[in-house]
Amino acid sequence: MNLDGQVSFALALMFILLVPFAIAGLALINTGLGRSRSAAHAMTTALCVVAVAILVYFICGFAMQGSGNAQTFPPEPKTEPQLFLHGIRWGSLSSMSVLLWIEAAGLASLIPLGAASDRWRLGPACASTALFSACTFPVFARLSQGLWVAGGQIHDPGGSGIINVSGGLTALAVAWLLGPRSGKYSANGMPAAIPAHNGVFVLFGCLLAWVGWIGLNAAGAIVNSALPSSEISARSVLAILNTTVAAAAAALTAAITTRIRFRRPDASLIANGWMAGLVASSAGCATLKPATAILTGIIAGVLVVISVEWFELHLKVDDPCGSVSVHAVCGLWGLLAAGIFVGSAGQFTAQMVGIATLLGLIFPLTYGLNWLLNRFIWYRVSPDGERQGLDLHELGADAYPEFVVHSDEFLQR
């Protein structure tokens, strides 16, 4: 490996080491936006689900996905990995893509937990994650490497589509299969506000996710884009800048939108705005100009506020953490923005093919797999367990044993 190659290797490795911060941030956000009586369960499920995703992806996910030429720099002849990562040449630059993909699978597997908060049992969550990591995630990852359109390939180095939309669509499927939390909707269909139990977790989670997303997007720009060594430093700096300015623009836009809409800024929607900016920036992080990344963030900030309200009020989807809006809706917008702002008709069409594949293949696939699994292992906790809280019901211990457990006084009767 020459000096340029060694520098690229070191840079990519450094960025990949930041990605677990995104996983930690998302787990904190999911926990904070849930209820106090299920907080320990939320963190335990996050840890178990990430563990399942990593192991299943190691065993068969990467083999299902295939290596693809674009994952190495410079591109190497295609070598297909087999089960248990046999066939990977360790120590090569291509072996680093395995690390990134494993972490990406772990991050994507956390997304459905946000929509299923406070009512999804631990065992079925792990089983659903195993299917996601073995099938849904690698299928799109494989297709996105091979779906070429004249003028371009699907461009998504940071994983707007592969990580966020596939996770977000799974979140929507799981939320539908589980149904809303008890007391969420009144008899006439009006939703009750069930407040987040720890806003500090949520906002600190956003800051952790920022660090993780910087690593994810910069590493993705290096590892997944097959750039020449001379361009790697410049592209990774651009990816970090675009990620940061998009998140900043989206959070401020969400704050302004909620100020206008509800007369005061809403903390959880601002957090969702921040996350929406990170998600939307991922597809175009290495190609957009910073000004267009800001525009992408601004639109994501407005979109997430409207989408959260629309899903809750009109579509009756109980998504406590806004996972569908943040990851599916804004991930789709990120893919589209990468096509619009690059300014090439071929690239726009390629991005549309990516979106069509996610909606037309991945969504029915993930819904069908979860529907089938729900027939064998009932996803939802019993009404008694839900009332008691998942901490006591499933784990036998509260997250906050010294606190007084409050009642459902804010729920509509």
Partner 1 sequence: MKLGGFLLLLSGWGIVIAALALLHGHMVAPFIYAGFAVEILGLVLVFRGHLPGREDAA
Using CB under 8 A as the criterion, which residues of the chain lie in contact with partner 1 when the complex forms?
A: 147-150, 176, 185, 189, 315-317, 345, 349, 352-353, 355-357, 359-361, 363-364, 367-368
Measured from the CB of residue 148, what is the shortest distance to partner 1 in angstroms? Answer: 8
Output DSSP code: residue 405.
Answer: P
Nearer to partner 1 among residue 290 and residue 383 (C-beta):
383
Q: Which of 202, 341, 358 is nearest to 285 (CA)?
A: 341
Neighbours of 264 (CB within 10 A): 9
Which residues are bridge partners to 148 per DSSP?
Answer: 153
The dihedrals phi and psi of 355, each to the nearest 5 degrees, come to -65, -45
Closer residue to partner 1 in complex, CB, 243/347: 347
**Crossing angle for the helix pair 93-115 and 166-178, nearest 10 degrees?**
30
The three-class DSSP label of residue 360 is helix
* CB 370, min distance to partner 1, A: 13
Instruction: For the CB of residue 326, give the shortest distance to partner 1 in the complex, in Å.
Output: 18
Determine the Cα–Cα distance for residues 239 and 218; give it in Å rounded to an integer: 5
Name the residue nearer to partner 1 (CB basis): 128 or 357: 357
Instruction: Give the nearer residue to partner 1 in terms of CB position, either 74 or 360.
Output: 360
> What is the tally of helices (H) and strands (E) in the chain?
17, 2
Closest separation between CB of residue 270 and partner 1, Å?
27
Q: Name the packing angle between helices 330-342 and 267-284 (round to 10°).
A: 40
Give min distance, CB of 225 to partner 1, in A.
Answer: 22
124 preceded by cis ω (within 30°)?
no
> Which lies closer to partner 1 via its Cβ, residue 188 or residue 230?
188
Quote the CA–CA distance of 274 and 210 in Å, as a whole number.
Answer: 9
Residue 352 beta carbon to partner 1: minimum distance, rounded to whole angstroms: 6
Say how far apart CA 326 and CA 230 lie, in whole Å: 34
In terms of CB distance, is 137 or 213 closer to partner 1?
137
